[in-house]
Amino acid sequence: PGASRVDRGAARMAGAYPIRSASFVSILLDAEAIRRHGLPEADYFLWNDDFEYTARLLRDGVGLYVPASRVYHLTKVFGGSDADPGPRFINEVRNKLWVFTRSDALGPLDRALYAGSTAVRWVRMLARSGDRRALAGHGRRGLAEGVRPPRPTVAVLAGTPVADDVTRVERGAGRA
């Protein structure tokens, strides 16, 4: 949402479309954007970490979807974004709450649009689930976990071989 007419035209001339967020599956990142905005939120791993991070980088940047690019992301089971994720729904709900309430990745309009779209998708997912009771339970747990904030990435990765590098990048971006 929100790409200007000029940006849309420039993207079209390059054979691309402007985007507001992307999947980690097939992206190229600008190192300067990483220095400016820091690293992905480690506590989000494994769900919506790419959504939050790329939305944060692209809030004041340019992102392009290039239809000619091909990536094969092999998964155990192919499904749409409203396929029942089972227990991983806990992470989906928790992390979306964090994106919508604690991240600066989205402005007010983006937040409203993405939150509305997420609510519709969750209702569809629940309606199509083979085990609605279990999925609803995962959702409740995600809601409960989402009330506490994510830990800073430097705290999550403290004591690991990359801790000093993480601290340096996060400090440079004003996030540590």
What parts of the chain have a pLDDT lower than 70?
A: 1, 75-82
Give the number of other CB atoms < 10 A from CB of residue 128. 13
**pTM (predicted TM-score):** 0.89
pLDDT in the model for residue 73: 74
- pLDDT tens per residue, range 1-13: 578 899 999 999 9
Domain ranges of the chain: 5-172
Token couple for 20: 């507001």
Summarize pLDDT for 30-67 with one digit per residue, the tens: 999 999 999 999 999 989 999 999 999 999 889 999 99
